[in-house]
Amino acid sequence: MIGYRFNETYDLLFNVNNLNNDVHREIIGGPKLGRQWTLKLTGRF
């Protein structure tokens, strides 16, 4: 996870799960999971 605080009001977070893109199943019979990324912007009032 990488984060950056712009100021006291805004934060930006970037997260990557399964960076090497190793396709696998979490649950038997479930879908195959690959790389997943999330970008999150948080604001405070």
Q: pLDDT of 27-43, one tens digit each?
A: 888 888 899 999 999 99
Specify the pLDDT at position 15: 97
**Could you give the CA distance from residue 5 to residue 28 in angstroms, rounded to a whole number?**
40
Q: Which residue has the tokens 């879908």?
A: 31
Q: Which residue has the tokens 């970008």?
A: 39
Question: And the tokens for 25?
Answer: 């199943």
| Sequence-ordered list of residues with C-beta below 8 angstroms from that of 19, at least 6 positions apart, any chain | 35
Longest distance between any two alpha carbons in the chain, whole Å: 45
The predicted model gives 13-27 an average pLDDT of: 90
